[in-house]
Chain A
Amino acid sequence: SAVISQKPSRDICQRGTSLTIQCQVDSQVTMMFWYRQQPGQSLTLIATANQGSEATYESGFVIDKFPISRPNLTFSTLTVSNMSPEDSSIYLCSARPGGGTDTQYFGPGTRLTVL
């Protein structure tokens, strides 16, 4: 398994600003992912964070809006840029440890409110 922490746990931001969310895993993992959960909705994959290369984005998500970094095998960041109230969501980081397991473990999430 993997233990994942995220910072900040929640934030309230003003329209037009940007927020960077950090995700730390307690062990090296092969794959890390970022999800968005809009209020009362299910989870939607934003992108796969690739170590050493550009993230792979899902349809409807673009790098300019959600730049992602993954400098090593235990850490990733997601930035929500030029925020609007529609970006108010829970953002969750997940990791797949690898080694033949296909289970994704999730962090506690970051609750973002944009005013």
Chain B
Amino acid sequence: AQKVTQAQTEISVVEKEDVTLDCVYETRDTTYYLFWYKQPPSGELVFLIRRNSFDEQNEISGRYSWNFQKSTSSFNFTITASQVVDSAVYFCALSEENYGGATNKLIFGTGTLLAVQP
């Protein structure tokens, strides 16, 4: 069965610190997709990144970077030089392949609440 684990329930850092959010997943599929979403206090879920199972290249986007390691079934997210505006709940998610090859169902982790203090 597919499962996503975000062991860190809450993290508190001081502005400008680097912070890594952990995500470990379980799946028996050979083709799957991993996602990170941000949910600020307003409640909207903001898409950050999508990674497929065949692409293990790390990705950097500004202060955000992602480390995908299939060997450890992890897809960790690092924020460099954190800012107060980064305060939010961050969800890692896995999509399972279904319905004739069309991935659709998202399985979410329990989320990590990141609080960045000024």
Q: Could you tell me which A residues sit within 8 Å of B by CB distance?
A: 1, 31, 33, 41-45, 48, 90, 92, 94, 96, 102-109, 111
Complex formed: what's the CA distance from A32 to B105 in Å?
Answer: 11
How far does the Cβ of B70 sit from chain A's closest Cβ, in whole Å?
18
Contact (A42, B110) CB under 8 Å given A103-B47, A106-B45, A108-B42: yes
A-B interface contact total, Cβ < 8 Å: 52
Give 5 A-B pairs besides A48-B104, A103-B47, A108-B44 with Cβ atoms closer than 8 angstroms.
A42-B110, A43-B45, A43-B91, A102-B52, A111-B43
The SS class assigned to the B binding surface is strand
How far does the Cβ of B29 sit from chain A's closest Cβ, in whole Å?
13
Question: Judging by beta carbons under 8 Å apart, are B43 and A45 in contact?
Answer: no
Question: Judging by beta carbons under 8 Å apart, are B91 and A102 in contact?
Answer: no
Contact residue among B44, B91, B109 (Cβ-Cβ distance under 8 Å from A107): B44
Question: Judging by beta carbons under 8 Å apart, are A90 and B43 in contact?
Answer: yes
Report the nearest A residue to B32, measured CB to CB.
Answer: A102
Report the nearest B residue to A45, measured CB to CB.
Answer: B105
Question: Judging by beta carbons under 8 Å apart, are B33 and A102 in contact?
Answer: yes
Report the nearest A residue to B37, measured CB to CB.
Answer: A106
Contact (A108, B33) CB under 8 Å given A43-B91, A48-B104, A96-B104: no
